[in-house]
Copies of this chain bind each other. A is one copy, B any other.
Amino acid sequence: MAKRLNTKPKHDGYRMPGEFEPHKQTWMVWPERTDNWRLGAKPAQKAFVEVAQAISHYEKVTVVVSAAQYENARHLLPDDVRVVEMSNDDAWMRDTGATFVVNDKGGVRGVDWEFNAWGGLVDGLYFPWDQDDKVAQKMCEIEEIDSYRTEGFVLEGGSIHTDGEGTLIVTEACLLSEGRNPHMSKEAIEEMLRDYLGVEKIIWLKNGIYLDETNEHVDNIVHYAAPGVVTLAWTDDENDPQYPLSKAAYEVLANTTDAKGRKLEIHKLHIPSTVEITEEESKGVDAVEGTLPREEGDRQAASYANYYICNDAVIYPTFGDETYDQKAKEVLQKVFPDRDVVGVYAREIILGGGNIHCITQQQPLGKK
């Protein structure tokens, strides 16, 4: 039922829809590796449960989990969340999961990018990553969805954002990094993105969020809220190292047009006060060679832009920041007047290196 296709989505009439288009369901992975998540991943598991629970009020959620954690995940997750066994190397469904594409007849297919843990042996975050690289195919098999495999082309879902109408936003820091596709020119990479995502115009930002360990994924700094509308992680503090990065991104976004020739409406989401790993938090993480350590005082790439749009709602991360948690909610409610805006306390997720958008992947509705 689920075939591996050797053609290309664009040629087959498929495009990646905007995250704001209707979903069939959301996919997540259960966190467990103790060299990334403190205290045996128990605090992170609690946070993931809260994210799954928040989304499940609005749409179906499937959480995949290793055999070892199956019973525990099933026990901790709400009844209405589907739990499916699946081996993995960590819990970043945005990056390891299939990127779904649709056609105008209700068809849904998966794009199964090669995955190398954000940089392989150059600057990847852990080793090995072989189980993560099989997640996309396994999702498609379960759903009986045909898929395209981009053997030899490395990409993660968090490094792309589309309006579903022909425009893609990416960062040079990530897509041109040495650890992904150094054998390819920028033009060749653009061609892959056009062919596999069905886009025409690609907007390149230089950078993402300061110290973002994914080589600055676009999904931590910018989010497409609707065609022609983006939210941008921002800071008013000119001394913050994030300032020049957000400023430069703003300049690019403000001075371009999308595939339809529209100017972009830009909404600023001020980042929270600096989030740093505490001594106690650092001590809860296993030290393992080959895995990025979590050290006391490390600044985390915390950003409200890393929210997730599900059917009828926006689930956004909060950090216990009295000022900016609330400001982010106000901006998001303005940008999404027809959706609920739901905050989930996400410190335990950002401690692992990402946020709500990074741990979720939407499967569009289609007709299946």
Contact = CB atoms under 8 A, between A and B. Distances in A.
Interface of A: 1-3, 60, 67, 70-71, 74, 79-87, 131, 134, 137-138, 141-142, 144
Contacts of A74: 137, 141
A1 B52 CA distance: 13
B3 A83 contact: no
A162 B84 CA distance: 30
A134 B84 contact: no
B3 A82 contact: no
Given A87-B67, A134-B70, A1 B141 contact: no
Nearest to A83: B141
Contacts of A3: 79
Given A67-B131, A70-B134, A1 B85 contact: no
Residue with the greatest number of chain B CB neighbours at <10 A, chosen from A60, A85, A134, A137 = A85
B131 A82 contact: no
Given A2-B79, A71-B134, 4 more contacts: A1-B79, A74-B137, A82-B142, A84-B84
Contacts of A85: 85-87, 138
Contacts of A84: 84, 138, 141-142
A30 to B, nearest CB: 13
8 contacts: A1-B81, A70-B134, A82-B141, A83-B141, A84-B84, A84-B142, A85-B87, A142-B142
A85 B86 CA distance: 6
A68 to B, nearest CB: 9
A138 B73 CA distance: 12
Contacts of A79: 1-3
B144 A1 contact: no
A202 to B, nearest CB: 33
The 8 closest A-B pairs by CB, nearest first: A67-B87, A3-B79, A83-B141, A1-B82, A85-B86, A1-B80, A84-B142, A85-B138
Given A1-B60, A131-B67, A82 B138 contact: no
A267 to B, nearest CB: 35
Contacts of A86: 85
A62 to B, nearest CB: 9
A139 to B, nearest CB: 10
Contacts of A81: 1
A60 B141 CA distance: 13
A289 to B, nearest CB: 24
A141 B64 CA distance: 11
Contacts of A70: 134, 138
Nearest to A68: B87
Contact of A82 (B80, B134, B144): B144
A81 B144 CA distance: 10
Nearest to A134: B70
Contacts of A2: 79, 82
| Most chain B C-beta atoms within 10 Å of own C-beta, residue among A2, A67, A80, A81 | A67
